[in-house]
Structure 1
Amino acid sequence: MLCRCPKCGKGRLFAGFLKVVDRCSVCGLDFTRLNTGDGAAIFVMQIAGGLVVFTALFVEIALSPPMWVHLAIFLPLVLVLSLGLMRPGKGVMIALQMKNQAGEAKTDD
């Protein structure tokens, strides 16, 4: 969740916003074999979308504000939640992939 190396907890996990470093600068753990794909994005969309939709529905039923109020509140909220959860989500997916020693499926043909 802190976007640090899952092994030592000290080295940086990301070189950019979502670009994973090749190696941990502290313990030397190789991150090149890890690939989370779109896993983190799927979870972030479900979490952010669920929170925003149910909150917007509650506000609509309780207060019935004009549509511009919904747009002014909930569009920025979904943007902030999506961007704010993406890095920690990808970090968790990398840590889970390492913990479970997950890799690409291979055939023995």
Structure 2
Amino acid sequence: MSSEVPEKTKGQPSIGQAALFGLCPQCGSKTLFEGVAQFSPKCSSCQLDFTRFNVGDGPAGFLTLIIGAIIVGLALWLEVSQAPPFWVHAMIWTPITFAAVILGLRAAKAALLYAEYDRNAGEAGRGE
């Protein structure tokens, strides 16, 4: 395990703030994401290298299962209570599912990156 511990600064965001707003875990700037759910290579303010963190695809699979279960439960409830036509289901659940997955994925990836940064975690056997 590395003896270098990330230096904590006074302006550091909490894990919730970093996850919701895409904040750099070191300086708190809104530089974590380059695209919709793609990390920037590094923070443009403090130059923290985001490529050294390995978040992987764990958040995507876990999040998809959770959101899928919630959406299916709500769709079944709507079907049993109101019995709307199929197009109503399509108009309601498609955008809600899309938004929940994208926003949830951004938040989950940011939270995992922040947790790795905060605990100075890394891949096993990297020899640093």
Q: TM-score range by the shorter chain?
A: 0.7 to 0.9
State the distance in 1 between where 2:116 and 2:76 align.
36
Deviation at 1:18, TM superposition (A): 2.7
Give the number of aligned pairs. Answer: 108
Alignment correspondent of 1:66: 85
Deviation at 1:46, TM superposition (A): 2.7
Alignment correspondent of 1:26: 45
Deviation at 1:107, TM superposition (A): 8.8
Alignment correspondent of 1:101: 120
Provide the aligned C-alpha RMSD in A: 2.1
Identical columns (%): 37
**Structural mapping, 1:1-109, within 5 Å:** 1=19, 2-106=21-125
Q: For 1:32, what is the secondary structure of its paired residue?
A: helix
Give structure 2 stretches of 5+ with no counterpart: 1-18
State the distance in 2 between where 1:24 and 1:107 align.
23
Amino acid at match of 1:52: I
Q: Kindly indicate whether the alpha-carbon contact (under 8 Å) linking 1:5 and 1:11 is maintained by their aligned counterparts in 2.
A: yes
- Deviation string, structure 1 residues 6-48 (Cα, Å, up to 9, x no partner): 1211250112223322222222222221121102212321332
Deviation at 1:64, TM superposition (A): 1.9
Q: Kindly indicate whether the alpha-carbon contact (under 8 Å) linking 1:4 and 1:12 is maintained by their aligned counterparts in 2.
A: yes
TM-score norm. by structure 1 comes to 0.82
Amino acid at match of 2:63: V
Give structure 1 stretches of 5+ with no counterpart: none
TM-score norm. by structure 2 comes to 0.71
